[in-house]
Amino acid sequence: MASAWAGRRVLVTGASSGIGAALARELARAGAVVGLCARRTDRLEAVLADCREHSPGCQAWTVDLADLDRLVGFAAEVVAGLGRVDVLINNAARSNYHAGALETPSADLEYLMRCNYLSPVRLTRALLPSMLARGTGAVVAVSSMAAKISPPGETAYAASKAALSAWFEALAGELRGTGVRVNLVYPALVDAETDADGPDALVATAPSHEVLPAPVAARAILAQVEAGDLESYLPHSAQALVDARHDDLDASIDLLARWYHRS
Ligand SMILES: NC(=O)c1ccc[n+]([C@@H]2O[C@H](COP(=O)([O-])OP(=O)(O)OC[C@H]3O[C@@H](n4cnc5c(N)ncnc54)[C@H](OP(=O)(O)O)[C@@H]3O)[C@@H](O)[C@H]2O)c1
């Protein structure tokens, strides 16, 4: 049976490592023509080589996505290179940023908003009009559990991801009936450092504290896009933590504070 991804043009940001690299490899294996981008050319080239074994038309761009003035030109280069973009996966981010609210330098606060929020928004605004003109497409935003449950020590990161989620949620409503879908992804714990694989059933069965291998997370994201589901948690069990937070916000903050101040 032909893969739903065969021949689709997919741009994956942050494809040099972690979830983005796993997404690029899975997409290429499924026959998609993948555009990869990130800053580390050597890492990108290694992922690109794997992708081209399955899908020779894949291409890579070295780009600093935090350079907002570069993004319209970059989007045009990708469209010229791939022919079009059917699916945009906004995955790149400055992740693993930990600093107290008062210790976070203002420059970092602004950088995280630029890299994690303004950049994917600008790239989406550059590529969305052509999807709308074709009446089909998908835009994925890889957010974070931190957007839903903001942990102490991650004020800047959590705020940047919450802004991202809010923008894409509003966009999802605007796009109803256009044929273009929005998919929001909320990873909780994904092992970005290893290519080691695992069974797809892990996404549904892993407890919320269990770390998912990046390839398993990548396949879950692609299944979400195929199903057209607006949001998903990785692993799925992490949704229970968000539900508990809605039920009792004080208790949720107490729990996080105890974890933060543990000695
Ligand atoms: N792993 C988790 O448990 C987890 C949890 C919550 C959310 N997430 C989200 O999942 C996504 C992927 O993260 P990951 O865990 O796979 O981490 P990762 O391995 O650090 O991946 C981040 C990717 O973004 C790229 N990137 C960062 N800044 C960039 C910039 N200025 N310009 C271009 N590319 C840039 C990096 O490439 P270069 O350094 O080569 O530029 C890298 O390819 C992120 O949005 C992250 O916030 C992950």
Residue 194: predicted pLDDT: 80
Residue 208: predicted pLDDT: 87
The C-alpha atoms of residue 27 and residue 21 are separated, in whole angstroms, by: 10
User: How would you class 245 by CB atoms within 10 Å of its CB: exposed for 0-12, middle for 13-18, buried for 19 or more?
Assistant: middle
Q: In angstroms, what is the span from residue 93 Cα to ligand 1's centroid?
A: 4
22 Cβ inside 6 Å of ligand 1: no
Helix, strand or coil, per DSSP, at residue 95:
coil
158, 143 Cβ separation under 8 angstroms? no
User: How would you class 21 by CB atoms within 10 Å of its CB: exposed for 0-12, middle for 13-18, buried for 19 or more?
Assistant: buried
Q: Which residues are catalytic?
A: 143, 157, 161
Residue 261: predicted pLDDT: 87
What is the full per-residue pLDDT of the chain (263 aa) written as tens digits?
578 999 999 999 999 999 999 999 999 999 999 999 999 999 999 999 999 999 999 999 999 999 999 999 999 999 999 999 999 999 999 998 999 999 999 999 999 999 999 999 999 999 999 999 999 999 999 999 999 999 999 999 999 999 999 999 999 999 999 999 999 999 999 998 887 889 999 999 999 889 999 999 999 999 999 999 999 999 999 999 999 999 999 999 998 999 888 85
Atom of ligand 1 nearest to the CA of 95: 47
Residue 196: predicted pLDDT: 85
DSSP 183-222: EEEEESSEE-S------TTHHHHS-TTSPEEHHHHHHHHH
211 Cβ inside 6 Å of ligand 1: no
Query: pTM of the full predicted structure?
Result: 0.97
149, 156 Cβ separation under 8 angstroms? no
Question: Residue ranges per domain, the chain?
Answer: 9-238
47 Cβ inside 6 Å of ligand 1: no
213 Cβ inside 6 Å of ligand 1: no
Q: Which of 61, 190, 202, 233 to mutate to test the pocket of ligand 1 (most atoms within 8 A of CB)?
A: 190
140 Cβ inside 6 Å of ligand 1: no
Residue 195: predicted pLDDT: 78
User: What is the radius of gyration, based on Cα positions, of the chain?
Assistant: 18
Alpha helices in 83-139 (DSSP H): 106-113, 119-134
Residue 263: predicted pLDDT: 57
Pick the CATH number of 9-238 from 3.40.50.720, 3.10.20.340, 3.40.50.1220, 1.10.10.10: 3.40.50.720
